[in-house]
């Protein structure tokens, strides 16, 4: 009897110890889950899990918050989830996120329109797991909200490629665009022309009316360009008072006509002494075999010829 009682007490003690261990494991799991949740909140990260047997997707609370969904929407069908992220199916997310021939998929960056119609930007990672014979079992995904970083990068890019005074593209950006267009034109029948113009006697404007007034003239010049140039054109402030225009899909004749319109627009800018602004224009068209240097050299020579011919003129060639 005494032995039976001792065994019972020992069994109860073991049960209590096992219960204590389970409670301890549960607390540790709850702590880990709480810590992971806070880390996800701080990192603006949410997760999802796809069951390949049922095609149900389970969304974490953090992801629900990011997407502006109710807790009741924590489980969606795969098609519903994809339609939510990419309603127009322009991103091919379904293909990108579960390319089963690749276990670890490359990150996908895409936009998402929130309930308030403001755009968000997500970086999306996913990883697929298969059984021993290669059948897909589960794909897990991680979505990070990179809207702040994306916006900051865009702002930095804008500052790096924009002329502070006029708001036009700066020389670096225009040169990049011209390089890219030449590369495309070398392997296609792409037609484009280049216009380079320089404001006449601009130093006298600064000397006579001050640099602040000269800045106003440069801003007014930029506004004239915006008014007369087509939306397909890329243009910017190329130097102090020099401006470069790339007219995509426009012939030499069309671009020369646009140059004359800009010339007219500049003539409507009147100085305090009653004189008007003018500029000298060179216009040329890309020819097969042109390099970046040869194209710019030719248009610069045409602009110089316009200067030498008495200024306030457009020379095309």
Task: Tell me which residue of 316, 310, 283 sits closest to 200, measured CA to CA.
Answer: 310
In the numeric block, which tokens belong to residue 114? 């929130």
Q: Cα-flanking dihedrals φ and ψ of residue 190, to 5°? A: -65, 135
Q: 169: which strand partners? A: 162, 236
Do you know the residue count of the chain? 317
What is the Cα–Cα distance from 44 to 13, expressed in whole angstroms? 46
Distance CA 301, CA 317 (A): 10
Contact assessment for residue 98 and residue 126, using Cβ atoms and an 8 Å cutoff? yes
Place of tokens 């050299």: 297
- Three-class SS of residue 302? helix
241 is catalytic: yes
Q: Which listed residue (94, 104, 149, 241) is catalytic? A: 241
- Catalytic residue set: 241
């Amino acid at each position: 009897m005494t032995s039976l009682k001792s065994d019972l007490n020992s069994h109860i003690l073991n049960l209590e110890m096992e219960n204590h261990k389970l409670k301890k494991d549960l607390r540790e799991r709850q702590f880990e889950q709480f810590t992971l949740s806070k880390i996800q909140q701080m990192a603006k990260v949410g997760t999802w899990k796809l069951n390949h047997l049922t095609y149900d997707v389970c969304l974490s609370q953090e992801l629900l918050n990011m997407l502006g969904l109710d807790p009741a929407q924590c489980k969606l069908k795969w098609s519903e989830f994809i339609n939510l992220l990419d309603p127009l199916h322009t991103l091919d997310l379904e293909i990108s996120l579960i390319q089963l021939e690749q276990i670890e998929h490359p990150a996908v960056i895409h936009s998402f329109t929130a309930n308030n119609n403001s755009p968000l930007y997500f970086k999306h990672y996913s990883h697929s797991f298969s059984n021993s014979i290669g059948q897909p079992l589960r794909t897990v995904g991680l979505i990070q909200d990179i809207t702040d970083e994306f916006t900051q990068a865009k702002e930095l890019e804008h500052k790096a490629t924009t002329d502070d005074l006029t708001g036009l593209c700066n020389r670096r950006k225009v040169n990049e665009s011209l390089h890219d267009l030449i590369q495309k034109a070398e392997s296609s029948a792409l037609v484009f022309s280049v216009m380079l113009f320089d404001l006449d006697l601009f130093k006298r404007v600064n000397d006579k009316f001050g640099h602040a007034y000269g800045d106003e003239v440069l801003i007014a010049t930029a506004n004239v360009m915006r008014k007369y140039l087509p939306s397909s054109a890329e243009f910017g402030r190329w130097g102090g008072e020099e401006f470069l225009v790339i007219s995509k899909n426009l012939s030499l004749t069309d671009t020369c006509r646009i140059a004359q319109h800009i010339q007219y627009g500049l003539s409507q800018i009147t100085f305090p002494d009653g004189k008007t602004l003018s500029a000298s224009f060179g216009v040329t068209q890309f020819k097969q075999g042109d390099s970046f240097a040869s194209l710019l050299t030719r248009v610069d020579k045409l602009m110089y010829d316009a200067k030498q011919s008495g200024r306030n003129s457009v020379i095309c060639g």
